[in-house]
Amino acid sequence: MAELDADAGAGLKALGLNCTLKKSPERSHTEALMGRVSSLLSEHGVETELLRPVDYAIAFGVSSDEGDGDEWPQILDKIKAADILLMGMSIWFGHRSSVAQLVIERLDGTYNERNEVGQYPLYNKVAGVVVTGNEDGAHACAESTLFNMTHLGCVVPPNVDTYWVGDAGPGPSYLDAGGPEHAYTQRTSSWCAHNLLHMARIMRDNPIPPIGNTLDEHGGDAVHGG
């Protein structure tokens, strides 16, 4: 089986949004698993960054700038500059964290923006998801988030969700229960990193053409007028 070169991801940027409820530098189990994916990307030359939205003053809303001290535009600039977006979140009562929901709601503002060829600004970016917790809900969190990311314009390759929930019922979290050595989580996080990298390289060299993917001000196809 062919191995990727160490510089296969050179020139690509990956941004991880750790939607934990914990402010830095408190230990985050989600960040630990995201870190495994990021480190695999880094090994192939991808420039990576992890940030916690909870460390920023993010206003509630669905625009790209809610004014009055809203720090979301700082994060949005990083999102627009990235080729790979990794959404990380914890599970609460079976659902993605409120911070993850807030991020998705704020990304709704990008529907009102266009890239240089008239598409949504998240077009040609690839997205993956990391979920941690000690209760059920990983699949539900991943499926809703990945679906949202596709609607925003991202491409979602196969097997780009990785998670840790431990045994059924309340119990220890990822770092407290051998999660970093767990065979399934190691395997799925490796798939996540490598598939994101592979697709990001494809999208960089073969972006989605604007024909049929742009709308004029009346809602018709900007190229064919209807």
pTM listed for this prediction: 0.88
- How far is the C-alpha of 10 from the C-alpha of 226, rounded, in Å? 40
Fold of 13-205: Rossmann fold (3.40.50)
- Of 64, 104, 81, the C-alpha closest to 14 is 81
Burial tier of 168 (Cβ tally within 10 Å: 0-12, 13-18, 19+)? exposed
Q: How many CB atoms lie within 10 A of CB 176?
A: 12
Query: Cβ distance 41 to 48 under 8 Å?
Result: yes
pLDDT at 2: 52
For 107-122, the pLDDT digits (tens) are 999 999 999 999 999 9
Site of tokens 């929901």: 101
Q: What is the pLDDT along the chain (226 residues), one digit of tens a residue?
A: 356 677 889 999 999 999 999 999 999 999 999 999 999 999 999 999 999 999 999 999 999 999 999 999 999 999 999 999 999 999 999 999 999 999 999 999 999 999 999 999 999 999 999 999 988 899 999 999 999 999 999 999 999 999 998 775 667 788 887 788 888 889 999 999 999 999 999 999 999 999 877 765 544 444 433 3
Segments making up each domain of the chain, as ranges: 13-205
